[in-house]
Amino acid sequence: MLDTKGYPNRLGLRGWVGGGRWGLERYLYTLHRLTGLGLLVYFLLHIIVTSARAFGAAAWDASMARVTGPVFVAGEYLVFAAFVFHAANGVRLALVELGWAIGRPIEPVYPYRTSVDEQRPLAVGVLIVAALLAVVGGLDFFVLH
Amino acid sequence: MNAPARVTFRIRRFDPVRQSPPSWEDFEIPAVAGMTVLDGLRTIKETLAPTLAWRSSCRMGVCGSCGMFINGHPRLACNTQIAELGSGPVTVAPLPNFDTIRDLVPDLRPMFDKHAALSPYIIRDDHDEMYEPTGEYGQTPEELEEFLQFTYCIKCGCCMAACPTCATDPVYSGPMPLGQAHRYNADSRDGGFTTRKTALAGDQGPWRCHYAGECSRACPKGVDPARAIQLMKRQLVFDYLRLYSQPCPAGVVTPAPASARRPDVPEAPAPTVDVSRARTSPSC
């Protein structure tokens, strides 16, 4: 039995990003994770900020005063954009993980056509929907208000 | 496209005796038309670096030994021509997400351990028939198509090297073992879904896959493990909702009735087993 001390070669977080040689869905995978983590951080901050209400109206007003201004509006818009992408891509993932939009198994004949190619229209559609919603949200954040 | 007259190979070397970090070494060799990366490695070993180590065998994309990280992508060295890699040096590193044993040799044992843990074989309870077959288990072409694509897997590890979840999660089983588990779950002759379901629960199972799709793109045989994993998830969800019950495994087919033979076709040899005892799995 071979027993050597191998050198660790796990890509780690570099494996999420890759070197530009990966496909669209890999970047959607990474973006889905990053937006998910971003939304989680936002929810934690949201709970901390709004919990000031438990200490009275003055504490609430002071807390709200700290999170106003253009920087926080831009930040909130980023949260909104992250939510839009995460939700739309989540619908795609739910569909794909239930076996929809990926096609049936086929005999592999070169050049291979994979399930990733089958669901590509769905992925592109999701990006379009997310972009449209982000634009509409941007109008609301920066123009109408 | 013509290959350049000379080509530079930039190879990641690692010596397990020294245990110093891997380093890159350049080798320039003559390029010939149709030269594969594996051909280049053999030329380098014969003329420039006799200690260079890698794993290969069949040289025709069948054995799955020569998976390497070539120009930033997992590929089979025997299946990759240097001309298709464009200009510039050919960078060759061992498959990532596996420990490196030496130079370009990855330690694939964790992958094979995970593969074995998911019972990648036909599971039935008619042991007598399994070990002393009296005939063939019947299967329609449509039933065959449900898993045929996944049988082409050569266990090269390219999918594991491409998977971003495998890049950060050592517990996750990965595309090859999971794809092969579904290959058997989808086989109409198999009755092992319940057995594998237990092994598929938890962090090692398919729920850590979030469909980056890279395994299917990297697969040199078109096996599409991402599709197998998603189909497995559907099966598991439907099973959880009690909307799925595994059908009885295919039974032994009765032989076709004798028909008139063409006179120019010789008789088949006498059967060596008794095919008259057709039956289905005793549990069904």
Contacts of B168 in chain A (CB under 8 A): 10-13, 15-16
**Residue A9: inside a domain:** no
Contacts of B224 in chain A (CB under 8 A): 105, 108, 112, 114-115
Q: Are the C-beta atoms of B26 and B9 separated by less than 8 Å?
A: yes
Percent of chain B whose predicted confidence (pLDDT) is above 70: 93
- Give the pLDDT band of residue A19 (cuts 50, 70, 90): low
With an 8 Å Cβ cutoff, is A49 touching chain B? Answer: no
Query: Which tokens go with A123?
Result: 């992925």
Pairing relationship of beta strands B67-70 and B73-76 according to DSSP bridges: antiparallel
What phi and psi, each to the nearest 5 degrees, are found at residue A117?
A: -65, -35
CATH number for the domain spanning A92: value is 1.20.1300.10
Q: Are the C-beta atoms of B174 and B181 separated by less than 8 Å?
A: no
> With 60 as the cut, is the pLDDT of residue B239 above it?
yes
- How far is it, in rounded angstroms, from Cα A13 to Cα B165? 9
- Give the pLDDT band of residue B245 (cuts 50, 70, 90): confident
Partner residue opposite A8 with nearest CB, options B71, B99, B217: B99
**Residue A6: inside a domain:** no
**Residue A129: inside a domain:** yes
Side-chain-side CA neighbours of residue B90 (13 Å):
31
What domain count does chain A have? 1
- How far is it, in rounded angstroms, from Cα A113 to Cα A108? 8
- Give the pLDDT band of residue B265 (cuts 50, 70, 90): confident
- Give the pLDDT band of residue A1 (cuts 50, 70, 90): very low
Query: Which tokens go with A136?
Result: 């509409």
With an 8 Å Cβ cutoff, is A1 touching chain B? Answer: no
Tell which B residues from 212 to 251 touch A, by Cβ distance under 8 Å.
Answer: 212-214, 216-217, 219, 221-224, 226-228, 230-231, 233-234, 237
What is the tens place of the pLDDT at every residue in B211-235? 999 999 999 999 999 999 999 999 9
* b/e per residue B94-128 (b: at least 16 CB within 10 A): bbbbbbbbbbbbbbbebbeebbeebbbeebbebee
ipTM associated with this complex: 0.89
B76: three-class secondary structure by DSSP: strand
Query: Which tokens go with B187?
Result: 């086989």
**Residue A3: inside a domain:** no
**Residue A10: inside a domain:** no
Query: Which tokens go with B147?
Result: 């898993």
Q: Are the C-beta atoms of B47 and B8 separated by less than 8 Å?
A: no
- How far is it, in rounded angstroms, from Cα A64 to Cα B39? 67
Domain coverage including residue A45? 22-144
Q: Which structural domains are found in chain B, ordered by start? A: 6-106 (3.10.20.30), 109-240 (1.10.1060.10)
